[in-house]
Amino acid sequence: MDSQKFLRAAVLGLAGMLLAGIASAQSAADDANKAYSRKGADTCIACHDDAVSLAVFRTPHGVPTDPRSPFGHGQLQCEACHGGGDAHAARVRRGQERPPVIRFGSDMPDAVGVQNGMCLECHDGSVGFGWHGGPHDNDEVACADCHTSHATLDPVLQTGTQPDVCFDCHQLQRSETLKAFSHPFFEGKMACDGCHAPHGDSPDTTFARQTLNDTCYECHAEKRGPYLWEHAPASEDCGLCHSPHGSNHPGMLTARAPLLCQSCHSQDGHPSIAQEADGLAGASMPSQYLLGQSCLNCHEQVHGSNHPSGSKLMR
Ligand code: HEC
Ligand code: HEC
Ligand code: HEC
Ligand code: HEC
Ligand code: HEC
Ligand code: HEC
Ligand code: HEC
Ligand code: HEC
Ligand code: HEC
Ligand code: HEC
């Protein structure tokens, strides 16, 4: 541990206490709170030798040989995150309250700004500029609401366990992913960060890529085209026909054909008004082509066609 840092911390603490003589006793406690303990982690471990506390040494944060790590040379160890703990670690009189250190999670009394500030001290670069003013920052979500710093494997960084972390707050999306057809979240093959940038990509998008479609193309490259014959809605917004979190219709469609198609296509030219039991509207004979795949029986290239005569998306 860097003795200079501790000296500075101790001096600050002392100055705080002197000042407090003039001001209120409360601010004396506040200032003393900011002083760092003398022996770093050893001070803390004297009381906090439980499994959860000690687990921090088995995380990427507990690497003494990494000078950037809280436990690297010259760093403040436990107090790099929890803030100065000298007063907290001191003996308290019976009946007196132990001055707290910074605790983490938006349900804790410490302001989220203060908590996140401790992490950003080292991670401003890693979360990127999209974090600041993004939806999570704006709504005072704490880093620790998603990240578990005392777990060997941080659940939000594991594909299989990440969705559950998000579902803590995003119940609506949870119910969508439980529908009959969804991306393979529960097989552990994919997580929310396949499409979303959890720290925000820029202040106005939480997608992993600039646009929604670019995000989908990342894994569904064959849908990017360019097609000889484009189907306008597909190149515009995959979300016009698909519910990305899940749906009760096969293929995660927002509706089944023919309803899906008829939400945009009128019966001009090709008769495509709501399907009657006896076939295509206006047709004299029942059409077996409207069973099953409905419109898709004929218009099967619904994302676009590269066939010279595919203008009607039929091949
Ligand atoms: C003398 C024993 C002692 C020492 C030394 C000590 N603590 Fe504590 N700590 C406690 C007790 C007891 C609590 C339980 C809450 C209370 O009484 O305020 C606690 C609570 C905490 C909490 C909140 C846990 C919770 O359940 O909410 C954190 C975080 C914490 N200590 C961190 C530290 C750090 C970091 C250090 C080293 C700078 C440290 N402690 C040193 C006794 C100690
Ligand atoms: C003293 C600097 C420092 C502080 C303070 C700090 N970190 Fe880190 N953090 C690091 C370093 C160093 C690494 C390892 C980075 C690497 O290996 O590239 C790291 C890694 C991480 C990782 C990646 C872990 C993994 O399993 O890959 C996460 C997530 C993280 N920190 C979150 C946090 C959060 C949340 C806080 C606040 C509660 C915090 N950090 C506070 C320095 C710090
Ligand atoms: C909404 C949940 C969420 C919040 C809030 C959040 N993170 Fe993350 N963080 C993630 C996820 C998910 C990842 C996995 C990598 C990715 O998809 O970008 C991650 C990755 C990281 C990493 C590792 C980056 C790497 O490339 O290895 C660090 C460091 C980190 N976060 C720090 C923070 C800090 C600091 C804060 C608070 C300012 C924070 N995170 C807030 C979800 C979150
Ligand atoms: C990288 C930042 C970081 C470091 C370093 C760190 N902690 Fe924590 N600590 C946290 C966060 C964040 C939480 C909230 C729970 C979690 O994420 O696991 C926490 C929670 C705790 C708790 C409460 C646990 C509970 O049961 O709720 C205690 C006690 C604690 N830390 C003590 C320590 C001690 C002792 C050290 C040093 C050996 C230490 N911490 C080092 C970030 C850190
Ligand atoms: C502690 C609660 C909390 C957790 C955990 C959380 N979020 Fe959020 N999230 C929010 C809040 C609050 C907002 C802003 C209000 C809103 O749009 O619902 C938000 C907004 C979002 C948005 C953007 C909504 C928009 O309007 O642009 C996305 C996307 C998102 N979260 C994804 C995630 C993902 C992915 C995770 C897990 C890695 C996650 N969230 C974890 C609370 C949380
Ligand atoms: C296949 C891509 C994809 C995946 C994976 C994904 N999302 Fe989304 N998410 C989207 C799209 C597209 C939108 C915007 C359209 C919408 O609201 O349905 C969105 C919107 C959101 C919103 C904002 C909704 C609103 O009302 O503004 C939240 C919150 C969210 N997603 C959370 C999650 C969570 C949590 C997960 C992980 C279980 C997740 N998403 C996985 C594509 C995805
Ligand atoms: C991180 C990769 C990834 C991203 C990004 C992604 N998907 Fe997927 N998608 C998958 C995987 C994996 C499957 C399952 C494939 C399988 O089971 O063969 C899938 C399946 C699908 C299916 C077929 C579902 C079924 O029941 O047959 C649709 C439709 C789909 N994705 C639409 C989208 C849309 C729309 C987007 C953009 C909002 C998107 N995907 C973004 C990975 C991704
Ligand atoms: C006009 C409505 C519509 C739009 C827009 C649309 N799709 Fe589809 N998509 C469908 C239909 C209908 C199916 C089911 C096809 C079938 O069952 O043969 C489907 C199936 C899929 C499938 C699974 C079967 C396959 O062909 O691989 C994926 C993946 C997919 N779409 C991705 C996308 C992506 C990515 C976008 C945006 C570029 C997109 N879709 C836009 C209607 C649409
Ligand atoms: C979100 C609205 C929307 C949905 C849903 C939609 N389409 Fe389209 N479709 C369009 C637009 C816009 C065009 C381009 C019309 C034009 O260029 O005149 C188009 C063009 C077409 C064409 C080529 C028409 C021509 O004259 O070249 C066919 C065939 C077609 N759609 C079939 C379908 C089928 C089948 C479905 C259901 C799976 C469907 N569409 C769903 C908006 C939609
Ligand atoms: C039995 C095969 C078949 C089925 C089923 C079918 N279509 Fe068509 N559709 C065609 C053919 C053939 C054309 C080309 C007509 C032409 O060129 O005049 C066409 C043309 C179209 C066009 C272009 C219309 C225009 O003005 O040129 C649209 C849009 C369309 N169909 C939508 C639909 C929708 C929506 C459904 C489901 C309700 C559907 N089709 C079902 C065979 C079919």
User: 224 alpha carbon to ligand 3 midpoint, in Å?
Assistant: 29
What residue's CA is closest to ligand 1, atom 18? 98
pTM: 0.92
Give tens-digit pLDDT for 260-283.
Answer: 998 998 765 555 444 555 555 555
Check residue 3 and give its pLDDT.
Answer: 46
23 has pLDDT over 50: no
What residue's CA is closest to ligand 1, atom 23? 103
Atom of ligand 5 nearest to the CA of 205: 27
| Average pLDDT along the chain | 85
What residue's CA is closest to ligand 1, atom 41? 44
Q: Which ligand is nearest to the CA of 206?
A: 5
User: 122 alpha carbon to ligand 7 midpoint, in Å?
Assistant: 35
Atom of ligand 5 nearest to the CA of 193: 35
223 has pLDDT over 70: yes
The whole-number average pLDDT for the span 232-261 is 94
What residue's CA is closest to ligand 5, atom 36? 166
216 has pLDDT over 90: yes
205 has pLDDT over 70: no
Give tens-digit pLDDT for 91-106.
Answer: 999 999 999 999 999 9
Least confident of 41-50, 154-163, 200-209: 200-209
291 has pLDDT over 60: no
Give the pLDDT band (50/70/90) at residue 249. very high
Check residue 19 and give its pLDDT.
Answer: 39
The 3-class SS string of the chain reads CCHHHHHHHHHHHHHHHHHHHHCCHHHHHHHHHCCCCCCCHHHHHCCCCCHHHHHHHHCCCCCCCCCCCCCCCCCCCHHHHHCCCHHHHCCCCCCCCCCCCCCCCCCCCCCHHHHHHHHHHHHHHHHCHHHCCCHHHHCCCCHHHHCCCCCCCCHHHCCCCHHHHHHCCCHHHHHHHCCCECCCCCCCCCCHHHCECCCCCECCECECCCCHHHHHHCCCHHHCCCCCEECHHHHHCHHHCECCCCECEHHHECCCCCHHHHCCCCCCCCCCCCCECCECCCCCCCCHHHCCCHHHHCCCCCCEECCCCCCCCCC
CB of 61 shorter than 6 A to ligand 3: no
Domain-wise residue ranges, the chain: 3-89, 112-208, 214-305
Give tens-digit pLDDT for 147-179.
Answer: 999 999 999 999 999 999 999 999 999 999 999
